[in-house]
Structure 1
Amino acid sequence: MHEIINYEPAEAFGKELLGRLASVGIVQGQPFEPDARMQKIFEQAAQEGVAMSRVIAFDSRQPDAVVYPGLKWESPFIGNSSTFDPDGYFNLEARTTFHFTADGITPAMAMQMPEGKGSRYQTTYKDRNGNYLDGSKTYKLTMPPKVPVALFWAVTVYDPWTRSEIQSQPYPSISSQQEKPPVVNADGTIDIYFSNEKPKNVSDSNWIPTLPDQGFFVYIRYYGPLKPFNDKSWVPNDVVLVE
């Protein structure tokens, strides 16, 4: 932060934030040399801040987080606002949820775009029973027929510690536009499996490898969502544990 505030103009931060930083010795144009006591405080604060953010993001108490009542899919844009202030004040937990798990953001990612335009995002950290997803177990996500998108959809797996893509293969994702499309069932559904070892009789194009010693979470991206998605007449299934 000391490097950033000395690089950017003061107007980029505002007096409130600059005042908070000054209270811990970070002042624009002045050296930042915390003693051993302050270094210990900073280290503890960083650890506690990450722990708090992890709980806020992965076990949200925000009523608007859940997209479909009774299901585990959540919106990373709680309140459908990229500025996290739809009610006239900053929803700090909503903002933490997004920026702890993601990075870049634009208004179009959260706002209701015309049919077939823009993109929508949904995420889940838990299976249908409410248990956190475990890389040592096998799960299945069944996408209902005719995913309502004008462009394409994609399912991607992330590491809850780094919040980057899980390091199980170069691209831990399945997409409707991939070179070898996922196998479609006779009823039009598509089964996507998450597991450390590929289940028997499952195509490579329907399987995303996980790591056995860590958890994971899932994002679905819908590019060019259509009316059945927007009015919620089409609903994705929860991720289920395969016994």
Structure 2
Amino acid sequence: MTDKANNSRKEIVTQTEEEFQSLVPISGTVDTFFGGFELDHSFPTHEAAERIYDLMDHQRAAQLYLWGIPLVGMTRWHLGNAQTYTGYDYNTLLYVKTFNERRGILTANETTDYFWGFSNTRDGAVMLEMPAGLTVGMVEDMWQQGVTDLGIFGPNAGSGGVHVIIGPNTPAELIPEPGNNQRVHRIDTDQLMYVMRMLGTPEEVKKLSHQVRIYNYGQEPTIKIITGEDKFMACYQPRGLAYWEMLHEGINREVVQERDRLFMYWLRVLGIEKGKPFNPTERQRRILEDGTKVGELMAKTLVYNERLEGVLRQNNWRMILGGDWGDGIKYTQRTRYYDIFDPRARYCYEAITTSPAMTVPMPGKAQAYIGKFEDEDGVRLHGGENYVIHINGPVPAELFWSVVIYDTDTRCIIDNRHGAAGGKATMGSKTPGLRENEDGSYYMLLGPDAPPKGWEANHVQTIPGRGWFPYMRAYGARAEFFNDKYKFPTVNKVKDFEDVIG
């Protein structure tokens, strides 16, 4: 059907001149959600215009906060690595395994060892050679668009192979000719990030990691691995003017996407331009600082008060990745008619990195993540109270499952290092000494109180005065995890752990 034919069958909504004039007066007050604004012969008064400009700029600052979350998170991660770890540079794998090394990373897990790093395609196509073995990983651009999975959930299904990653400014002479066993990926940003979770014994992890090769085409195939030195490094988005300084750094290190050109104009009005120093006026500074407050409140609301039904599951659990197109975060961040603004801001505020296997349900060949932000009575989860999470067994996961406890303010593993049972935020199938109930289910005990004797492995100590939330992970999640045949855990507040476990 042509547009002409289609339009001929529509009843076009029209507006009479009287209706038009009745909605906004020629002179007088225009009442809005934001208050009244005066018009004088259809001219905004000087006072009204000043208020409108403030309103426009404050609104834009808050929306720009949401827009910039993924780039700020990745930029802070990369620069934080460079400032924290000795010998870190592009094409370097950072080996992270201790509690202190993980606790600044958005929703990190404690079950697997991590290897991560960044590369720059301006120096030539990035050659990522993966060995055969038990690895779960991904390649990511700086806007957290998932490029490809690595390892057993990737296109080579764990058999190894070469990934060639080409950016928008990769020199043509530094792009290899197509070869056997090569997977070629074109990305939207110059820089990229890779994460590898390697499974197995310490000896197997060491052997596997040293078989990886990361280099720019034209350079010698090599691998450089450094350790985290048990140092803390934060990758969650900073607050105040520091947020905008990091965003300014990020956009000056990257190409401008076509979809972002209007946002770049908004930034210009607020004193942030590509290729120019960041020197905001006092007015711009006030607006930007307020914008991070309002923007973060919006981000927190998107995370903790979800309104998009396509990601809601049983027992008020939420799909962290995946869900209905347009409501859930997908690795492309794109649907047919729009890019997903709110789901991207929501996910990249509470977590970091995406991939096809993380966002598209593929039973047995993907990771599944669900989160919950209140107990069964609809009350928020407080660190000063005791709770029991009841986990039905068996959990449908081919590789492992876990429940990890995160701080609601930082979205990182709770920092309980200084408690009597601290330095631990996880319970799962890989937990040494995990206690299983007679019916095959599990109790996870959470709270400031010590657990009963014999339940230490099932206990995580929480922190009075701080909120928390759980993520449940299933690596190699089976179909039952996605189709609701598996009954998700319940979270109940208790006065005493003995009231539940007997």
Q: TM-score, normalised by structure 1?
A: 0.91
Amino acid at match of 1:171: K
- Alpha-carbon distance change, 128 to 87 in structure 1, aligned in 2, over 3 angstroms: farther
Matched with 1:196 is 448
221-230 or 3-12, which deviates more: 3-12
**C-alpha deviation, 1:11, in angstroms:** 4.7
8 A Cα contact 1:175 1:181, kept in partner: no
- Alpha-carbon distance change, 202 to 61 in structure 1, aligned in 2, over 3 angstroms: farther
8 A Cα contact 1:135 1:213, kept in partner: yes
Structure 2: where are the runs of 5+ without partners? 1-246, 417-421, 496-502
8 A Cα contact 2:357 2:365, kept in partner: no
Amino acid at match of 1:133: L
Q: Distance in 2 between matches of 1:39 and 1:101?
A: 26
Matched with 1:76 is 320
8 A Cα contact 1:73 1:238, kept in partner: no
Q: Distance in 2 between matches of 1:42 and 1:51?
A: 14
8 A Cα contact 1:72 1:238, kept in partner: no
Amino acid at match of 2:264: L
- Alpha-carbon distance change, 131 to 9 in structure 1, aligned in 2, over 3 angstroms: same
Higher relative helix content? 2
User: Which residue of 100, 104, 121 maps to 2:369?
Assistant: 121
**C-alpha deviation, 1:224, in angstroms:** 0.7
Matched with 1:214 is 466
**C-alpha deviation, 1:41, in angstroms:** 1.1
User: Which residue of 96, 100, 122 maps to 2:345?
Assistant: 96
Q: Distance in 1 between matches of 2:280 and 2:482?
A: 51
Q: Give a deviation string over 1:32-78, Cα, whole Å, max 9, x none.
A: 2112121111111111111111112101111123112xx12111234
- Alpha-carbon distance change, 17 to 144 in structure 1, aligned in 2, over 3 angstroms: same
Q: State percent identity of aligned pairs.
A: 26
Residue 131 (1) aligns with residue 379 (2): yes
124-133 or 103-112, which deviates more: 103-112
**C-alpha deviation, 1:186, in angstroms:** 0.9
Matched with 2:477 is 225
Matched with 1:25 is 271
Q: Distance in 1 between matches of 2:426 and 2:446?
A: 10
Report runs of 4+ in structure 1 exceeding 6 Å deviation: none
Amino acid at match of 1:74: R
Equivalent position SS for 2:289: helix
User: Which residue of 430, 435, 444 maps to 1:177?
Assistant: 430
Matched with 2:391 is 143
**C-alpha deviation, 1:19, in angstroms:** 1.8
* Equivalent residue pairs, number: 239
Equivalent position SS for 1:167: coil
Equivalent position SS for 2:316: coil
Q: Distance in 1 between matches of 2:269 and 2:359?
A: 35
Amino acid at match of 2:283: R
Q: Distance in 2 between matches of 1:200 and 1:221?
A: 26
Structure 1: where are the runs of 5+ without partners? none
Amino acid at match of 1:144: N
Residue 107 (1) aligns with residue 359 (2): no
Q: Distance in 2 between matches of 1:89 and 1:11?
A: 15
Amino acid at match of 1:229: F
8 A Cα contact 1:82 1:107, kept in partner: yes
8 A Cα contact 2:270 2:288, kept in partner: no
Q: Distance in 2 between matches of 1:194 and 1:31?
A: 48
**C-alpha deviation, 1:2, in angstroms:** 2.2
- Alpha-carbon distance change, 10 to 89 in structure 1, aligned in 2, over 3 angstroms: closer
Equivalent position SS for 1:182: coil
Equivalent position SS for 2:369: strand
8 A Cα contact 2:303 2:350, kept in partner: yes
Q: Which entry has the higher C-alpha Rg, 1 or 2?
A: 2
- Alpha-carbon distance change, 6 to 237 in structure 1, aligned in 2, over 3 angstroms: closer
Q: Distance in 1 between matches of 2:341 and 2:275?
A: 29
Equivalent position SS for 1:239: strand
Matched with 1:167 is 415
**C-alpha deviation, 1:217, in angstroms:** 0.5
Q: Give a deviation string over 1:68-121, Cα, whole Å, max 9, x none.
A: 2xx1211123425334444632333222221110011112101021x3221100
Q: Distance in 1 between matches of 2:334 and 2:250?
A: 25
User: Which residue of 261, 284, 290 maps to 1:15?
Assistant: 261
Q: TM-score, normalised by structure 2?
A: 0.45
Matched with 2:183 is none
Equivalent position SS for 1:157: strand
RCO higher in 1 or 2 (8 Å CA, sep ≥ 6)?
Answer: 1
Q: Give a deviation string over 1:160-212, Cα, whole Å, max 9, x none.
A: 1111111013331112012x141011111110111111233451111111101
- Alpha-carbon distance change, 215 to 30 in structure 1, aligned in 2, over 3 angstroms: same
Amino acid at match of 1:139: Y
User: Which residue of 23, 42, 49 maps to 2:288?
Assistant: 42
8 A Cα contact 2:271 2:281, kept in partner: no
Matched with 2:158 is none
8 A Cα contact 1:142 1:191, kept in partner: yes
